[in-house]
Amino acid sequence: MGKNKDANNKVDIGGNVTNSNIYINSNGNHQGSDKNKPPKNKHDIWQWVVISILGIALIGIVFANFDLPLNGAAGTETQTPTLTLIPSPIPTDTTLPGEPTSTPIPPTDTPTLTPSPIPPVPLGEDWTQGCISTVWSAYPESVIPEDRGDGCWREPIHAFSAENGDLDFLFERQNGDEEIFGLFAPLPIENGSLTLTIRLRDLTNADLLVGIFAQPEVKTSGLLMMMLNGGVDSNVFIQKNPMTYETIIGSQRIFQGNGYSITFRFDNLSVRSIINPSVFFVDPFSLPASQKYVFVGYKGLRGYYRLEGTFLNFDLKP
């Protein structure tokens, strides 16, 4: 309880005034004890408004610097989330254990067209077309012909070339040992006959050879017929053992005329020869082979030799 000692200027206040707002006017009268009641003085009101505005502005600046929302709890930092785009990884071919594996399909490229090989000109049709068919093989194997790309070999093949519907041969050597050259071809039929004509212009120190064999090798089992060296206008046919070159049987001397004609008749068991026009016969020679080969060629004897002539009228019949 306070006492009024000076009615004009001083007021003593007693009691507990903690957390209370006491407003006293200039004449010392008590105006109330409401702590939330704003001051009535106009100057104080404007001061309160300015302080409030500055406080709100200061709070806004603080929240802006700390990226805090205005309605966030005091002292709690809230960051604005940043959206970062992470590229998706490229899928890889991962195979789990026990799962079937997959083979990736290779890229489809434009296929390269391989030209089909030209088939050989049929045996018996080649010479008449000025061609040595690729069905023929050179003997010995050391002679390697070149394919000219139309089913024929590039000529000459050693001493042989096809011209004017026949097979010509021409070769000359100055010196050396005995040697055999020629051509082999598989017979396209198992049973039949083969006839050809031989015209000679030179046969110096060389023997002319024709025959039928079970394989493309002269020094094996087969029926080998030979014309002796030196004879052009007239000559003889001799059956030779191809492995030993021994004489088995021979004909009498035959005049060439338009050429020497010989026929081979063969089946899957044997082969025989006839010197036309039926002037000399050779007994059937055992040659059990379903595939047989015809040979035309020559044997150059030791030293110098020269030969020139033609095989023609190749006629193969079943």
- Condensed to tens digits (0 to 9), the pLDDT of residues 185-205 reads 999 999 999 999 999 999 999
The arithmetic mean of pLDDT across residues 291-306, rounded, is 98
Alpha carbon distance 287, 268 (integer Å): 7
Q: Answer whether residue 266 shows pLDDT above 60.
A: yes
Predicted local confidence at residue 117, as pLDDT: 76
Q: Global pTM?
A: 0.65
Asked whether residue 136 carries a pLDDT value surpassing 80, the answer given is yes
Give pLDDT, residue 12.
45
Q: Structural domains in the chain?
A: 127-317 (2.60.120.560)
CA distances from residue 286 to 212, 248, 266, 297 in whole angstroms, order as listed = 11, 14, 10, 22
Q: What is the pLDDT of residue 116?
A: 73
Which candidate, 29, 47, 28, places its Cα nearest to that of 39? 47
pLDDT digits 0-9 by tens, 84-120: 545 555 555 555 555 555 566 655 666 666 667 789 9
